[in-house]
Amino acid sequence: MRRLPPRTLRGQLTAGLVTLLALACLAVGITTALALRGFLMGRLDEQLSASGGRFAASLEHEARPDADNRPDTRGQAESTFGARLLNGSVTQAAVVDDTTDRPLPLTPGDRRALAAVPVDGQGHSIRISALGAYRVSAVQGDDQDTLITGLPLHPVEETVHRLEAVEAVLFGAALVATGIAGALWVRISLRPLQRVTARAAEVAGLPLASGEVAMPGPLSDTDSRTEVGQVGTALNHMLGHIENALIRRQASEERLRQFAADASHELRTPVANIRGHAELALRHRGPVPGEVRHALERIDGESQRMTRLVDDLLLLARLDAGRPLGHEPVDLTLLILNATDDARAAGPDHRWFLDLPDNPVTVTGDAHRLQQAIGNILANARTHTPPGTEVTVTLTTDQNSVSVSVSDNGPGIPEELQPEVFGRFVRAHHARSRSAGGSGLGLAIVHAVITAHGGTVTVTSSPQHTAFRLTLPD
């Protein structure tokens, strides 16, 4: 499996530091090894030049009857190689050791390599099968022959390899130590950035969508001479702007809520007066023209609808202000039975089903508001589904919660509208067929009431299935 590069800034800085040091160590190691090898090869070439080819020249004695027929090894280093070539062919080859007079076996490849050595007195590297790597130098002999003298490269290679091994150990230890020290140094250097990250995460976890929000204080690490300090300064400025925006938004929401509460409260009296006068006019004993009676009936009906709207706005204003609700045992089973009976009476063309546990289920809360919330859900299912729709009310219990589910097999709610379905004055124009108008506050009241009880309300919808689920703490 391919390992991914470190993604954290700390990991990247540490890895970059170690990588740069590794490249520097590699460059130093290669440079020193090449320099040492060049120096040793130069010394080896000097030794070849100083030998003057005496050992190779002594190999000519075998060709002269009056000679001693033994190679001259005086002043020659151990393992010195000598060879004599005549007309490009090797006639003699020997190496300085205890048995110098023993002929040295050469392969055809060795003979070709020796014949290819330039006669320039300079050092050249070749490999002899029986001896290994050698540094050789070729000079012209007195008898129009070629004399080759060589010294082994093994000491040079051994010294270079020993230097490489020492450098590998030292550089490896330096990389490990630098990696550990660099990680600690980077960790300490990035502590201010970690505080910036923690503060940003703290702000991200705050409920900024609504309500009064207490913003955390500014960061202290704001040294403009450092990059982290500049980030901290920018974050402090951003937090300040966010706090000011939240304060203005909260003040605007408070003014709007106060206006809704005040307007609703002020509207209750004139709406009640209008309704009262309309009812009084309808009770007039004398003859009333048909057009006038119809107008009075419309005034009475609209005043009743406006009364419900004002009551809903006042309820939402009280819930927004955190007004306490009732806190008493509520028989949720009986409440669901009554709410379903009311819905069945209002919608006899729907099919209503109940799925309740055998034993009564009791919760703590405000019975009137809970019945209003469940009634709103049932009214929503009744008014936004066609006749013949099946509506099922299910009550289930868990260890720490109680759930009420209202589901139907109607057309469903469009997916793009589902996140906003509990908003205020939201109407599902394209969601379901509707036979009656609404204020768009029913589901908003459901959400506010259930939230005030410490519960949650959710909706899932698709064609032929829509379910509202109300969850209350047990």
Tens digit of pLDDT for each residue in 123-159? 899 999 888 899 999 888 877 888 888 899 998 999 9
Q: Which of 3, 21, 12, 4 is nearest to 183 (CA)?
A: 12
Minimum mean pLDDT among 32-36, 41-45, 279-283: which range?
Answer: 279-283
Q: Which of 265, 253, 171, 272 is nearest to 424 (CA)?
A: 253
pLDDT digits 0-9 by tens, 370-418: 988 899 899 888 888 899 899 999 999 888 889 999 999 988 888 888 8
Q: CA 421, CA 415: separation in Å to the nearest integer?
A: 10
Q: Which of 457, 459, 421, 455 is nearest to 440 (CA)?
A: 421
3-class SS of residue 462? strand
pTM > 0.75: yes or no: no
3-class SS of residue 215? coil
Q: CA 136, CA 152: separation in Å to the nearest integer?
A: 9
Asked if residue 396 lies in contact with residue 469, where contact means CB atoms within 8 angstroms, the answer is no
Is residue 101 over pLDDT 60?
A: no
Report the chain's C-alpha Rg in angstroms.
Answer: 50
Strands 390-397 and 351-355: parallel
Compare 72 and 166 and report the one with higher pLDDT.
166
**Category of 57 on φ-ψ map: left (φ > 0), alpha (ψ -120 to 50) or beta:** alpha
For residue 140, the 8-state DSSP code is E
Asked if residue 316 lies in contact with residue 445, where contact means CB atoms within 8 angstroms, the answer is yes
Strands (E), 117-254: 124-128, 132-140, 146-152
Strands (E), 40-113: 81-86, 89-95
- How distant, in Å, are the alpha carbons of 5, 7, 262, 264, 321 from that of 256? 53, 47, 10, 12, 12
